[in-house]
Structure 1
Amino acid sequence: MTRIVVFPGQGSQTVGMGAELFRAFPQEVAFADAILGYSLEELCLKDPQQRLHKTEFTQPALFVVNALAYLQAVEREGSRPDFALGHSLGEYNALFAAGAFDFITGLRLVQRRGQLMGRADGGTMAAVVGLSPARIEDCLREVAPGEVDIASFNSPEQTVISGAAGAFERLESALESAGARQVVRLRVSAAFHSRYMRAAESEFATFLSQFEFSPLDFPVVSNVHAMPYAEQGLHECLAGQISRPVRWTESIQWLARQPMPVFEELGASKFLTPLIQSTLRRSADA
Structure 2
Amino acid sequence: MTRIFMFPGQGAQHAGMGRELFGRFPELVREADDILGHSIRQLCLDDPDSRLGSTEYTQPAVYVVNALALRAARAEGSAPDVAIGHSLGEYNALEAAGVFGFAEGLRLVVARARAMARIAGGGMAAVLGLDDAVLRLVLRRAGLDAIQVANLNTSDQTVIAGPADGLAEAATLLLDAGARAVRRLDVSGPFHTSHMTSAAEEFAPALRSLTLAAPAFPVIANRTARPYPETGIADLLIGQIDHPVLWRKTVEALDTPDAEFLEIGAGQTLTRMLRALRSHRGDPS
TM-score (normalizing by structure 1): 0.96
Q: In structure 1, what is the equivalent of residue 75 of structure 2?
A: 75
1:20 to 2:20 alignment: yes
Task: Report the Cα offset of residue 20 of structure 1.
Answer: 1.4
Task: Report the Cα offset of residue 280 of structure 1.
Answer: 2.4
Q: In structure 2, what is the equivalent of residue 44 of structure 1?
A: 44
In the TM superposition, 1:1-286 aligns within 5 A as 1-77=1-77, 79-257=78-256, 260-284=258-282
Give the letter for the 2:74 counterpart. V
Q: Distance between the aligned counterparts of 2:222 and 2:59, measured in 1?
A: 17
Task: Point out where structure 1 has 5 or more consecutive residues left out of the alignment.
Answer: none
Task: Report the Cα offset of residue 277 of structure 1.
Answer: 1.3
The answer as to whether partners of 1:132 and 1:156 remain within 8 angstroms in 2 is yes
Give the letter for the 2:170 counterpart. L
Q: Distance between the aligned counterparts of 1:7 and 1:97, measured in 2?
A: 10
Q: Distance between the aligned counterparts of 2:281 and 2:158, measured in 1?
A: 17
Out of 169-178 and 247-256, give the one that drifted further. 169-178
The answer as to whether partners of 1:123 and 1:165 remain within 8 angstroms in 2 is yes
The answer as to whether partners of 1:67 and 1:267 remain within 8 angstroms in 2 is yes
Give the letter for the 2:186 counterpart. R
Task: Report the Cα offset of residue 119 of structure 1.
Answer: 1.3
Q: Distance between the aligned counterparts of 2:26 and 2:110, measured in 1?
A: 20
Q: Distance between the aligned counterparts of 2:58 and 2:156, measured in 1?
A: 26
Detail structure 1 runs of 4+ shifted over 4 Å in the superposition: none
Give the letter for the 2:13 counterpart. Q
Task: Report the Cα offset of residue 256 of structure 1.
Answer: 1.2
Tell me the percent identity.
47
Task: Report the Cα offset of residue 140 of structure 1.
Answer: 1.5
Task: Point out where structure 2 has 5 or more consecutive residues left out of the alignment.
Answer: none
Task: Report the Cα offset of residue 45 of structure 1.
Answer: 0.4
Task: Report the Cα offset of residue 284 of structure 1.
Answer: 4.8
Give the letter for the 1:100 counterpart. V
Out of 259-268 and 84-93, give the one that drifted further. 259-268
The answer as to whether partners of 1:253 and 1:283 remain within 8 angstroms in 2 is no
The answer as to whether partners of 1:63 and 1:93 remain within 8 angstroms in 2 is yes
Task: Report the Cα offset of residue 165 of structure 1.
Answer: 1.4
Give the letter for the 1:220 counterpart. V
The answer as to whether partners of 1:125 and 1:192 remain within 8 angstroms in 2 is yes
Task: Report the Cα offset of residue 276 of structure 1.
Answer: 0.9
Task: Report the Cα offset of residue 170 of structure 1.
Answer: 2.0
The answer as to whether partners of 1:144 and 1:167 remain within 8 angstroms in 2 is no
Aligned residue pairs total: 283
